[in-house]
Structure 1
């Protein structure tokens, strides 16, 4: 299974890189439209690394209406924690190259904008392989409502992703081409 996932990741990274080079920021507007229906609901986005699609414009808009956070990696094998983020807040380097807020003010999201390497139309998600979002979504969903919105370039769509029973599904996928409802 790991060899299959590694091959799927390699192909998806190449597709994502090509899409990133052509990005004109349209997807953030689509994401903002989706989030407008959830004003005030605690939300987590992410601070993009490498060629990840950038959710920050939509996060900044959402921050005007409610609490927005970003993930903080506490350690390998652990679920993510979340720190409150503001568009003007100071950031410092965090694990794996992602920045984190300088002042860590904990928050618990009910909506998570999830980065990914590849997705399928059934809500399957291939991440980087650390299982952070899978553990986190499982924990949050066990304690209440938690909606996972995959945010990606349309080119990151794949068929037949090598998924495992512990992989947590996405509830919705947002790309520059629109919204894919799952299920």
Structure 2
């Protein structure tokens, strides 16, 4: 089985797991996320507009003391760009149906809330397969310090996410049950 096939099978299982966790409710997840982000007040925060069964970061984004932006897909195999977001701003459909601000400044985040399908204790995440966040994190990390926080339901944790050389680690994962302890240092690949 190729890595692409392994990841595709893992995504199928992860979608079903996340759907079940979403149906069970989100608890105090957004409040925990807002508290976890408070040390980053004043920094540019990138969140995301939740789609389907993704855990909702919008209350934490609205509570952030500093500029907030959301990802915009510029094209296949390109890193994300981030457009300024405020509660109530005009939104339009972007690629893959994600809502994006109709207008606003382009910002470069120092802290990112990252959606995912699955995560493991090593800090790796399984995304949707486009590589957008991996390319973006690699580029941002080459320019400056950045903190990538995965936001997920606790049920989305798996024993091991299948990875390849382009996958970027998260710095932290926060669930409705609180922060997940990640193993340090990153494993050799």
With the length of structure 2 as denominator, give the TM-score of the two structures. 0.94
- Give the CA deviation at 1:118: 0.4
Contact 2:26 2:176 in 1 (8 A): no
Contact 2:26 2:55 in 1 (8 A): no
Alignment of 1:39-118 (within 5 A): 39-62=41-64, 65-118=65-118
Contact 2:55 2:153 in 1 (8 A): yes
Number of aligned residue pairs: give it.
Answer: 181
User: Which residue pairs with 1:158 in the alignment?
Assistant: 158
- Give the CA deviation at 1:10: 0.7
Shift in alpha-carbon separation, 1:33–1:120, aligned structure 2, 3 A: same
User: Which residue pairs with 1:180 in the alignment?
Assistant: 180
**Distance between the aligned counterparts of 1:181 and 1:45, measured in 2?**
21
User: Which residue pairs with 1:15 in the alignment?
Assistant: 17
- Give the CA deviation at 1:181: 3.6
Contact 1:171 1:181 in 2 (8 A): no
**Distance between the aligned counterparts of 1:175 and 1:73, measured in 2?**
25
User: Which residue pairs with 1:169 in the alignment?
Assistant: 169
User: Which residue pairs with 1:134 in the alignment?
Assistant: 134
Unaligned runs of 5+ residues in structure 1 are none
> Cα RMSD between the aligned structures?
0.8
SS at match of 1:96: helix
With the length of structure 1 as denominator, give the TM-score of the two structures. 0.97
**Distance between the aligned counterparts of 1:135 and 1:39, measured in 2?**
25
**Distance between the aligned counterparts of 1:161 and 1:180, measured in 2?**
15
**Distance between the aligned counterparts of 2:181 and 2:32, measured in 1?**
13
